[in-house]
Structure 1
Amino acid sequence: MYGKTFTGNSNLKHLIMHADIRNVECDVCGKAFTQKCTLKLHMDMHAGINNHVCDMCGKSFTEKGTLKFHMDKHAGIKNHVCDICGKTFTQKGHVKEHLEMHAAIKNHVCDICGKAFTQKGHVKEHMEMHAGIKNHKCAICGRSFTHKGTLKRHMDMHAGIKNHKCAICGRSFTHKGTLKRHMDMHVGIKNHVCDICGKVFTQKGHVKEHMDKHAGIKNHKCAICGKAFTHKGTLKLHMDMHAGIKNHTCAMCGKSFTGKGTLKLHMDMHAGIKNHACDICGKAFAQKGHVKEHMEMHAGIKNHKCAICGKAFTHKGTLKLHMDMHAGIKNHTCAMCGKAFTEKGTLKRHMDMHAGIKNHMCDMCGKAFTRSGYLKEHIKMHAGIKN
């Protein structure tokens, strides 16, 4: 057939091989072969006889041909090419398996969950995942993985290799899958839903973090002040605050913030957006936290106490202004008379006096005052109270 020459029975054996006549059967597994010598090598495999040892890594094999394929791998010889994508392999059998992937043929099924794979080796790796076997360990951080490929991608992260770039915003990622999830965010695809509140997310991991918030789980703790957070990202922003890092600047007033979300809330204030209203008096606020503080005022809660005089305040910011008064800090100066004040609100009331604005009127005699305190004193006069 191919011009090869033989003597005696060798020619007949060779022709039997071409005809794929398999008359020699294995008594152990029933597998059939064209030649007796091939069966002998096969029986060595059943017996665990590995006489062919690799000089480079010490790995042993039943057959000389298998050792040769193994040595080709060490030498980087890849003579078997995929006709579809051009990818090269050391063994012909690997090309066959690879072609099944192109054809989407998944003949190898997991007995536990029923997931199907194109290659037998992939099922084996998948089964190790079910068993919790993680034999591939990172030499840098010690983290272990089930698959060698997953470890390789993890090592790329340590090396700072980011080969997968977003075509929309230019952001780069280590993993192809991470880029795909990022692209879902750009197109607004949110397939992951919270079972408790119905909120939707682009990534499965974000739902898990969100569920931790519902459960009150806070595993990310600040090493400086001990404050705990549900999300790792929130802790990072908090750490930036400790470090004084403020990368998000307001284009209108120049004020800088640690987090992007805080800047957004600040911009709402500039725009006059007040979506958070008080249930008691209806007063609206730009930020949810401000409503909470305002509600504490209604409840008479004053958790912020002055260490000097003991006076308590509802808001932390009010206490800070009060402390400035103790320190004699007066940063708010009147442009008309030069008088300085600790608080911006006090300066405003002072300016009303210059402008002759009298918004506080006595219900009894109609006399008006620039300040509520002056009106209060006036009311005492009507009542005959002499201090």
Structure 2
Amino acid sequence: MKFHSSSELRVHEKIHSQDKPHSCSYCGKAFKQLSNLKLHQRIHSDEKPYVCSYCEKTFRAQGTLKVHLRTHTGERPYPCLDCDKRFITSSELKVHQRIHTGEKPFYCYDCGKSYYQLKQLKEHMKFNPDHSTTRSGLNNIEDEDKLYSTARHDDVTMS
């Protein structure tokens, strides 16, 4: 990632800070960036200013609309290098790649079974109610989010 000014770099560095100075006046949830707070506040107002030109479905964020449009256009810009499959989002590709690597990061502490996707573990927990959800691999939700967000920040430079 390249930055054209030192101020752009400082704004970006705030993403990695634990400081969350922007709080929602409705629910108290805190955010690192003001733009994320404004996006969050649309949940409370039900504001969805972005409209799909194909089906008129509405969205809170422009990026969500962009991904949705791919369902209409058929665009799948993320190819798997190990097979012929292509994906709408990079996160779908990353989850798919676990099939090839064998990585199963979501596991049940009670029986030891592990899964490629969080939804598979949740399904397992649903059909095994005697397993403790507080001790299960459900706490890996944040780990998966971090996995997606850290990989692209490895090569940060300023031009």
TM-score interval (norm. to shorter) = 0.5 to 0.7
- Highest Rg: 1 or 2? 1
TM alignment of 1:255-334, pairs within 5 A: 264-265=7-8, 267-268=9-10, 272-274=13-15, 277=20, 279=23, 280-282=28-30, 284=32, 287-297=33-43, 299=44, 301=46, 303=48, 304-309=50-55, 311-334=57-80
For the residues of structure 2 that align with 1:342 and 1:334, how far apart are their CA atoms?
A: 11
Matched with 1:372 is 118
5+ long unaligned stretches in structure 2: 130-159
For the residues of structure 2 that align with 1:300 and 1:362, how far apart are their CA atoms?
A: 38
Matched with 1:173 is none
Q: Secondary structure at the match of 1:323?
A: helix
For the aligned residue pairs, the C-alpha RMSD in angstroms reads 3.5
1:341 alignment partner, one of 83, 87, 99: 87
Structure 1 length normalisation: TM-score?
Answer: 0.26
Q: Which amino acid aligns with 1:272?
A: E
Question: 1:20-48: per-residue Cα shift (whole Å, max 9, x none)?
Answer: xxxxxxxxxxxxxxxxxxxxxxxxxxxxx
Q: Secondary structure at the match of 1:351?
A: helix
For the residues of structure 2 that align with 1:292 and 1:353, how far apart are their CA atoms?
A: 37
TM alignment of 1:155-304, pairs within 5 A: 252=2, 264-265=7-8, 267-268=9-10, 272-274=13-15, 277=20, 279=23, 280-282=28-30, 284=32, 287-297=33-43, 299=44, 301=46, 303=48, 304=50
Q: Which has the higher contact order (CA 8 A, sep 6+)?
A: 2
Contact 2:52 2:65 in 1 (8 A): yes
Question: 1:180-206: per-residue Cα shift (whole Å, max 9, x none)?
Answer: xxxxxxxxxxxxxxxxxxxxxxxxxxx
1:326 Cα offset (Å): 1.7
Contact 1:359 1:370 in 2 (8 A): yes
Change (3 A) 1:357 1:364: same
Q: Which amino acid aligns with 2:120?
A: Y
Count of equivalent residues: 121
1:317 Cα offset (Å): 0.6
For the residues of structure 2 that align with 1:365 and 1:302, how far apart are their CA atoms?
A: 44
5+ long unaligned stretches in structure 1: 1-249, 254-259
Q: Which amino acid aligns with 2:91?
A: G
1:377 Cα offset (Å): 2.7
For the residues of structure 1 that align with 2:110 and 2:118, how far apart are their CA atoms?
A: 15
For the residues of structure 2 that align with 1:355 and 1:272, how far apart are their CA atoms?
A: 32
Contact 1:302 1:312 in 2 (8 A): no
